[in-house]
Copies of this chain bind each other. A is one copy, B any other.
Amino acid sequence: MTRLGPNRYGKAEVRVVSIARGTAPDGGDVIRDRCVSTSLSGDLAAAHRDGDNANVLATDTQKNVVNVLAKRLGDVEPEAFALALARHFVAGPITRARVAVDEYGWTRIGTHDHSFHRSGDLTRTTVVVLDADAGPSVVSGVEDLVVLNTTDSEFHGFPRDEYTTLAETHDRILATRVSARWRYRSAEVDWSGAFGLARRALLDAFAGTYSYSLQQTLYAMGAAIIEAVPDICEVRLALPNKHHFLVDLAPFGETNDNEVYYAADRPYGLIEGTVLADDASDPGLAWS
């Protein structure tokens, strides 16, 4: 009467911190601060149906593998780390692995070799899906990158019906917390270089686009990444519109010439969209 559909299981949020001592160009230490989540799929019907764990590689074992590969691989890019993990796991009854890595940045304190403060400006992400048949896919991106333009943003020309009360605006703050993910064409990429270019393109497109809607800015950001990084063929963005409402100071005898804003929490606009290279490859399982 019932049957098992798609499923996966794994260890989520393994917080593994690797120190590479003295390997920075100036002799300082390098920190790789990661949060790793693994998910495996395969021949797991008996586990669900009968409690037969013969094919269930324990999530505790998955965590151990994360730690061991952190040791063996050391100071590598998150994409390389995730690919190595996925390749380890796909074997025997496990036919697919999804490995997600969040990486937190650290900044050296002054000239101290061993001392850091957390950067806090963004989280770097990657998700690798490796399927025994379909091969690997790599999607990387950023989270928690909050950006703001103080001007050069308008919003008008939208339809007005009996439920519309919003005034048109020809000068507003545009702010968002960027959640961006970009899909690579292959698993053989200069990950560090590509990340740097994509991050730079994204920021420049946000700053440089005179915006008539957050949709337009979204498209500009996605297109800029694709144009800057030939290895990337698809970008997905989720941009909450962090509304900054002009405070009405007229009751107090003050003007407000775009000076004082109320930063609202909820509700917020949420703009989600995809930008593709014209010759983008089939995504396969990349977004699963």
Contact = CB atoms under 8 A, between A and B. Distances in A.
A51 interface: yes
B39 A2 contact: no
B211 A51 contact: yes
B120 A7 contact: no
Contacts of A47: 213, 215-216
B115 A11 contact: no
A204 B272 contact: no
A137 interface: no
Given A1-B277, A3-B276, A261-B17, A53 B158 contact: yes
B64 A115 contact: no
Interface residues of A, number: 136
Copies in the complex: 4
* Of listed A33, A37, A48, A278, residue having the most chain B CB within 10 A: A48
A47 B156 CA distance: 11
A131 B143 CA distance: 30
A258 B19 contact: yes
A197 interface: no
9 contacts: A1-B223, A14-B267, A19-B173, A51-B216, A53-B212, A64-B251, A67-B260, A71-B254, A115-B148
Interface of A: 1-21, 29, 31, 33, 37, 39, 44, 47-61, 63-65, 67-68, 70-72, 74, 106-107, 109-110, 112, 114-122, 144-152, 155-159, 161-166, 173, 203-204, 206-208, 211-216, 218-219, 222-223, 226-227, 234, 236, 240-241, 244, 247, 249, 251-254, 256, 258-278
